[in-house]
Amino acid sequence: MDVTIVEVSPRDGLQNEARILPTDAKIELVRRLIEAGARRIEAVSFAHPRLVPTMADAEAVMEGVPRVEGVSYAGLILNQRGLQRALATGVDEVNVVVCASEAFSRRNQNCSTDEAMAAALEVIDEARSRGLFTTLTLATAFGCPFDGEVSLDRVVELAGNGAAAGVHELALADTIGVGTPNQVRELSQQIRSAVGDGPGLRFHFHNTRNTGFANAFAALLEGVRVLDSSVGGIGGCPFAPAATGNIATDDLVYMAERMGLHTGLDLTALMGVSAFLTDQLGHEVPALLPRAGAFP
Amino acid sequence: MDVTIVEVSPRDGLQNEARILPTDAKIELVRRLIEAGARRIEAVSFAHPRLVPTMADAEAVMEGVPRVEGVSYAGLILNQRGLQRALATGVDEVNVVVCASEAFSRRNQNCSTDEAMAAALEVIDEARSRGLFTTLTLATAFGCPFDGEVSLDRVVELAGNGAAAGVHELALADTIGVGTPNQVRELSQQIRSAVGDGPGLRFHFHNTRNTGFANAFAALLEGVRVLDSSVGGIGGCPFAPAATGNIATDDLVYMAERMGLHTGLDLTALMGVSAFLTDQLGHEVPALLPRAGAFP
């Protein structure tokens, strides 16, 4: 596998859709993703159900998904309570989120970035000791809707904290889809230079301003080999119907495979999952491949 | 100017829209584009009105557009008859199109690629002798809907023919939006290596499969400094409402400026032109910036 795609549609995709899918449909989505070749799947969030009601059935989803050799399930967590739920359900990975911008951290997690990081490092330490694969995601790493520009030095510092604590993977998230390829290059190079070859590097792009796939290409150029995407590109904000969500797995796989990189995913099967989601969500998905067709 | 954007909305954009705008609206579009900073504008096509009825009023458009110091107007031409019309209207540039794939050439121009190239070289020679800036566009350079893959060697050979004839600029067009960044890199490098520093290199991308902006970034990395785009990203096929057209000028300018490159275009003004087009065409345009908003 030249590129590992972390499929985030069950979590970041469905989390931001207006229609809440029933648990059975979520499980069916995961089942179809595995059939299409997905091997790392961010299946659930253990955020508080009051804050993220779309993910309130995380335990039921994890109970229903098939256990397949080689498939790794991740759960997003924000705190110790989330970790306990994650451990109880038996996910293989936890994705611990810290917001790089102060304003976003306070609004999203009700604490400062430093407080969130201190809590995250404890959680990561415990998750590791329990044998889980751990990811530290730095959200709003490319810009914040409240603070505007986010300091590159600050993101690199936070990444260094995670690396020092032994996290397995560092993920840089362009939460609001403002990033451009030069930022990808600078973040990749400076973080690599700061943390060495310890944790793996992973990126999470949204295509909100049509830079998502250019950013993915920039990451590949930097040698990054783990990218998040969401089949159909679902996950647009329910309050802005035209906004796109995560970069679409369908379109990312098209680009990567035509560039000679192997993703292990089947494009035709992925477009079938997009059609399933279109039906389930009751609206067109933003991915373009299902409309335009594969080539050649 | 670090990047020169050739604004193709009046031609490649409007040509492929279901609704034919009245001449006055086309002239108003050009006027607003100039106000937004556009300096190279592909304003009209001199293809036969029976084949491209949306462009039948080319003479009237060219009569009505303002003549502004520093603004260069281009007309697309396919043959000698088109050149005579172009000369009569006083465009500053001609864009001569040859299809790199045989099947597309026969369907689009009713002749083989070699026949089209022989005619193009005559037209280019005459246009140059009349003092016009000349571009040779190689259409379907990234793939053909009928032939599938198009030979890279063939595209490089055709580019060499154009360079030998003294064309000022070579444009590589991803007519059906199938290209990926590796193709941009290979075409750029091999054509540069074949033709040296003679003609300038220009690329024309469609975002049909969400690779258009990654391709634009790849071209910038190769030192290409002339890119086509269409404000609002208009130009999708009228028979596929969801299909996107050219890469959107709004989104391209956002990416380029945020990467520290200067385009000379004003993003707020461009989004105003997108709003004008939304109103005139009666549907949303594919550009994402007008929906998401600029940042920071």
pLDDT tens sequence across B120-178:
999 999 999 999 999 999 999 999 999 999 999 999 999 999 999 999 999 999 999 99
Residue of A nearest to B186 (CA): A259
Residue of A nearest to B259 (CA): A182
To the nearest whole Å, the CA of A234 is away from the closest chain B CA by: 14
CB contact under 8 A, B291 and A214: no
Which of chain B's residues have a Cβ under 8 Å away from the Cβ of A149? 296
To the nearest whole Å, the CA of A9 is away from the closest chain B CA by: 18
Nearest in space to B220 (alpha carbons), one of B181, B162, B249, B177 = B181
Say what angle helices A113-129 and A152-164 make with each other, to 10 degrees.
30
Q: What is the ipTM of this complex?
A: 0.97
Six token digits for residue A34: 């595995």
Location of structure tokens 């967590």: A77
Mean of the per-residue pLDDT values of chain A: 95
Cβ contacts of residue B195 below 8 Å, gap of 6+?
Answer: B159, B160, B163, B170
CB contact under 8 A, B296 and A149: yes
Six token digits for residue B197: 């520093």
Q: What is the mean pLDDT of residues A246-271?
A: 98
Q: What is the mean pLDDT of residues A253-266?
A: 98
pLDDT tens sequence across B73-89:
999 999 999 999 999 99
Which of chain A's residues have a Cβ under 8 Å away from the Cβ of B291? 240, 242-243
N-terminal to C-terminal alpha carbon distance within chain A: 22
Q: Where does A4-292 sit in CATH, by number?
A: 3.20.20.70
Rounded to whole angstroms, how far apart are CA atoms A291 and A271?
A: 9
pLDDT tens sequence across A34-45:
999 999 999 999
Rounded to whole angstroms, how far apart are CA atoms B67 and B201?
A: 26
Contact B203, B245 (CB under 8 A): no
Rounded to whole angstroms, how far apart are CA atoms B65 and B24?
A: 9
Rounded to whole angstroms, how far apart are CA atoms A45 and A139?
A: 15
CB contact under 8 A, B143 and A208: no
Cβ contacts of residue B118 below 8 Å, gap of 6+?
Answer: none
Domain map (residue ranges) of chain A:
4-292
pLDDT tens sequence across A95-123:
999 999 999 999 989 999 999 999 999 99
Pairing of strands B133-139, B169-173: parallel
Contact A138, A170 (CB under 8 A): yes
pLDDT at position A243 is: 54
